[in-house]
Structure 1
Amino acid sequence: MYDLTAFQRDILYVIAGQNDPHGLAIKDELEEYYENEVHHGRLYPNLDEVVDKGLVEKGEADKRTNYYTITARGQRELEDRRKWEDQYVGELLSNSE
Protein backbone atom coordinates (compact mmCIF):
# COMPACT_ATOMS: atom_id res chain seq x y z
CA MET A 1 0.00 0.00 0.00
CA TYR A 2 2.91 2.33 0.74
CA ASP A 3 3.79 2.48 -2.95
CA LEU A 4 0.34 3.65 -4.04
CA THR A 5 -0.65 7.23 -4.65
CA ALA A 6 -3.51 8.68 -2.63
CA PHE A 7 -5.62 8.55 -5.79
CA GLN A 8 -4.90 4.84 -6.21
CA ARG A 9 -5.84 4.23 -2.57
CA ASP A 10 -9.10 6.07 -3.15
CA ILE A 11 -9.75 3.85 -6.17
CA LEU A 12 -9.31 0.79 -3.92
CA TYR A 13 -11.73 2.18 -1.35
CA VAL A 14 -14.35 2.85 -4.04
CA ILE A 15 -14.00 -0.61 -5.58
CA ALA A 16 -14.12 -2.30 -2.18
CA GLY A 17 -17.29 -0.38 -1.30
CA GLN A 18 -19.22 -1.38 -4.41
CA ASN A 19 -20.27 -4.60 -6.07
CA ASP A 20 -18.07 -5.06 -9.16
CA PRO A 21 -18.24 -1.43 -10.32
CA HIS A 22 -17.43 -0.46 -13.88
CA GLY A 23 -15.04 2.36 -14.73
CA LEU A 24 -17.68 5.08 -15.04
CA ALA A 25 -19.21 4.17 -11.66
CA ILE A 26 -15.76 4.46 -10.08
CA LYS A 27 -15.23 7.77 -11.89
CA ASP A 28 -18.59 9.11 -10.63
CA GLU A 29 -17.79 8.20 -7.01
CA LEU A 30 -14.36 9.82 -7.19
CA GLU A 31 -15.78 12.96 -8.79
CA GLU A 32 -18.36 13.23 -6.03
CA TYR A 33 -15.66 12.89 -3.37
CA TYR A 34 -13.15 15.24 -5.03
CA GLU A 35 -15.87 17.65 -6.16
CA ASN A 36 -13.96 17.88 -9.41
CA GLU A 37 -13.85 16.11 -12.76
CA VAL A 38 -11.71 13.00 -12.97
CA HIS A 39 -10.44 12.61 -16.52
CA HIS A 40 -10.32 9.23 -18.25
CA GLY A 41 -6.60 9.78 -18.85
CA ARG A 42 -6.07 9.84 -15.10
CA LEU A 43 -8.53 7.14 -14.05
CA TYR A 44 -7.80 4.26 -16.40
CA PRO A 45 -3.99 4.23 -16.15
CA ASN A 46 -4.36 4.20 -12.36
CA LEU A 47 -6.92 1.39 -12.54
CA ASP A 48 -4.47 -0.55 -14.68
CA GLU A 49 -1.74 0.09 -12.10
CA VAL A 50 -3.75 -1.35 -9.18
CA VAL A 51 -4.66 -4.32 -11.39
CA ASP A 52 -0.99 -4.84 -12.27
CA LYS A 53 -0.09 -4.76 -8.57
CA GLY A 54 -2.59 -7.57 -7.90
CA LEU A 55 -4.86 -5.44 -5.70
CA VAL A 56 -7.79 -5.45 -8.11
CA GLU A 57 -9.08 -7.87 -10.73
CA LYS A 58 -10.45 -6.61 -14.01
CA GLY A 59 -13.23 -8.49 -15.76
CA GLU A 60 -15.16 -7.94 -18.95
CA ALA A 61 -18.89 -7.25 -18.63
CA ASP A 62 -19.22 -6.82 -22.40
CA LYS A 63 -17.01 -5.73 -25.29
CA ARG A 64 -17.01 -2.09 -24.12
CA THR A 65 -17.35 -2.35 -20.35
CA ASN A 66 -14.96 -3.69 -17.75
CA TYR A 67 -15.76 -4.28 -14.12
CA TYR A 68 -13.37 -4.26 -11.18
CA THR A 69 -13.22 -6.40 -8.05
CA ILE A 70 -10.98 -6.03 -5.03
CA THR A 71 -8.69 -9.05 -4.56
CA ALA A 72 -7.94 -10.76 -1.25
CA ARG A 73 -4.56 -9.02 -1.32
CA GLY A 74 -6.25 -5.67 -1.95
CA GLN A 75 -8.60 -6.30 0.96
CA ARG A 76 -5.66 -7.12 3.26
CA GLU A 77 -3.87 -3.96 2.15
CA LEU A 78 -6.95 -1.86 2.96
CA GLU A 79 -7.29 -3.52 6.36
CA ASP A 80 -3.62 -2.89 7.13
CA ARG A 81 -4.01 0.74 6.08
CA ARG A 82 -7.01 1.18 8.39
CA LYS A 83 -5.06 -0.29 11.32
CA TRP A 84 -2.17 2.07 10.60
CA GLU A 85 -4.53 5.07 10.37
CA ASP A 86 -6.25 4.07 13.61
CA GLN A 87 -2.90 4.28 15.43
CA TYR A 88 -2.85 7.99 14.71
CA VAL A 89 -6.43 9.17 14.41
CA GLY A 90 -8.58 6.37 15.84
CA GLU A 91 -8.61 7.69 19.38
CA LEU A 92 -8.99 11.27 18.19
CA LEU A 93 -12.03 10.38 16.10
CA SER A 94 -13.66 8.22 18.78
CA ASN A 95 -13.25 11.04 21.33
CA SER A 96 -14.96 13.56 19.08
CA GLU A 97 -18.22 11.59 18.93
Structure 2
Amino acid sequence: MNGLTGFQRDLLYVIAGLNEPHGLALKDVLEEYYGTEIHHGRLYPNLDTLVDKGLVKKGELDQRTNKYGLTERGRRELQARHDWEDQYRGELVSVESEVS
Protein backbone atom coordinates (compact mmCIF):
# COMPACT_ATOMS: atom_id res chain seq x y z
CA MET A 1 0.00 0.00 0.00
CA ASN A 2 3.05 2.17 0.23
CA GLY A 3 2.91 4.84 -2.42
CA LEU A 4 -0.85 4.64 -3.02
CA THR A 5 -3.13 7.63 -2.69
CA GLY A 6 -6.15 7.50 -0.41
CA PHE A 7 -8.36 7.36 -3.50
CA GLN A 8 -6.45 4.34 -4.80
CA ARG A 9 -6.81 2.61 -1.41
CA ASP A 10 -10.53 3.33 -1.47
CA LEU A 11 -10.72 1.80 -4.95
CA LEU A 12 -9.06 -1.36 -3.62
CA TYR A 13 -11.56 -1.63 -0.78
CA VAL A 14 -14.53 -1.15 -3.11
CA ILE A 15 -13.18 -3.67 -5.64
CA ALA A 16 -12.73 -6.15 -2.79
CA GLY A 17 -16.32 -5.64 -1.68
CA LEU A 18 -17.94 -6.14 -5.07
CA ASN A 19 -17.94 -9.14 -7.41
CA GLU A 20 -15.79 -8.15 -10.41
CA PRO A 21 -17.25 -4.64 -10.72
CA HIS A 22 -17.05 -2.55 -13.85
CA GLY A 23 -15.86 1.05 -13.86
CA LEU A 24 -19.28 2.68 -13.59
CA ALA A 25 -20.21 0.52 -10.58
CA LEU A 26 -17.01 1.64 -8.86
CA LYS A 27 -17.74 5.23 -9.82
CA ASP A 28 -21.26 5.03 -8.33
CA VAL A 29 -20.05 3.64 -4.99
CA LEU A 30 -17.26 6.20 -4.69
CA GLU A 31 -19.55 9.10 -5.63
CA GLU A 32 -21.95 8.06 -2.89
CA TYR A 33 -19.10 7.81 -0.37
CA TYR A 34 -17.38 11.07 -1.33
CA GLY A 35 -20.61 12.96 -1.96
CA THR A 36 -19.23 14.40 -5.19
CA GLU A 37 -18.89 13.44 -8.84
CA ILE A 38 -15.94 11.23 -9.75
CA HIS A 39 -14.79 12.09 -13.25
CA HIS A 40 -13.64 9.41 -15.69
CA GLY A 41 -10.31 11.24 -15.94
CA ARG A 42 -9.73 10.50 -12.27
CA LEU A 43 -11.20 7.01 -12.04
CA TYR A 44 -9.67 5.17 -14.97
CA PRO A 45 -6.07 6.40 -14.67
CA ASN A 46 -6.12 5.36 -11.00
CA LEU A 47 -7.51 1.94 -11.91
CA ASP A 48 -4.76 1.58 -14.51
CA THR A 49 -2.16 2.47 -11.86
CA LEU A 50 -3.50 -0.28 -9.59
CA VAL A 51 -3.34 -2.73 -12.51
CA ASP A 52 0.23 -1.64 -13.30
CA LYS A 53 1.23 -2.15 -9.65
CA GLY A 54 -0.13 -5.70 -9.76
CA LEU A 55 -2.85 -5.08 -7.17
CA VAL A 56 -5.83 -5.28 -9.51
CA LYS A 57 -6.57 -7.46 -12.52
CA LYS A 58 -8.53 -6.08 -15.44
CA GLY A 59 -10.66 -8.25 -17.69
CA GLU A 60 -13.24 -7.75 -20.38
CA LEU A 61 -16.91 -7.92 -19.44
CA ASP A 62 -18.00 -7.17 -23.01
CA GLN A 63 -16.50 -5.30 -25.97
CA ARG A 64 -16.99 -1.93 -24.30
CA THR A 65 -16.77 -2.68 -20.59
CA ASN A 66 -13.91 -3.81 -18.37
CA LYS A 67 -14.29 -5.65 -15.09
CA TYR A 68 -11.89 -5.45 -12.17
CA GLY A 69 -10.84 -7.77 -9.38
CA LEU A 70 -8.12 -7.97 -6.78
CA THR A 71 -5.01 -9.99 -7.44
CA GLU A 72 -3.56 -12.20 -4.70
CA ARG A 73 -1.04 -9.44 -4.03
CA GLY A 74 -3.89 -6.92 -3.78
CA ARG A 75 -5.64 -9.12 -1.20
CA ARG A 76 -2.44 -9.47 0.84
CA GLU A 77 -1.88 -5.71 0.75
CA LEU A 78 -5.45 -5.02 1.90
CA GLN A 79 -5.12 -7.55 4.70
CA ALA A 80 -1.84 -5.99 5.83
CA ARG A 81 -3.48 -2.54 5.83
CA HIS A 82 -6.46 -3.89 7.76
CA ASP A 83 -4.15 -5.44 10.37
CA TRP A 84 -2.18 -2.21 10.68
CA GLU A 85 -5.38 -0.15 11.12
CA ASP A 86 -6.71 -2.58 13.74
CA GLN A 87 -3.55 -2.18 15.77
CA TYR A 88 -4.14 1.55 16.11
CA ARG A 89 -7.90 1.48 16.22
CA GLY A 90 -7.59 -0.56 19.42
CA GLU A 91 -5.35 2.07 20.95
CA LEU A 92 -7.80 4.81 19.96
CA VAL A 93 -10.58 3.03 21.85
CA SER A 94 -8.32 2.85 24.92
CA VAL A 95 -7.54 6.56 24.72
CA GLU A 96 -11.22 7.43 24.38
CA SER A 97 -12.01 5.31 27.45
CA GLU A 98 -9.36 7.14 29.47
CA VAL A 99 -10.73 10.55 28.44
CA SER A 100 -14.32 9.73 29.44
TM class, shorter-length: over 0.9
Deviation at 1:93, TM superposition (A): 4.9
Deviation at 1:92, TM superposition (A): 3.3
Structure 1: tracts of 5 or more residues without a match: none
SS of 2:19's partner is coil
Deviation at 1:2, TM superposition (A): 1.3
| Counterpart position of 2:58 | 58
Identity %: 71
SS of 1:73's partner is helix
Aligned structure 1 segments of 4 or more residues deviating by more than 6 angstroms: none
**Which range is displaced more, 3-12 or 84-93?**
84-93
Structure 1 residue 90 corresponds to structure 2 residue 93: no
| Counterpart position of 2:71 | 71
Number of aligned residues:
96
Correspondence 1:17-56 to 2 at 5 A: 17-56=17-56
**Which range is displaced more, 82-91 or 35-44?**
82-91
Structure 2: tracts of 5 or more residues without a match: none
Amino acid at match of 2:87: Q
TM-score between both structures, scaled by the size of structure 1: 0.93
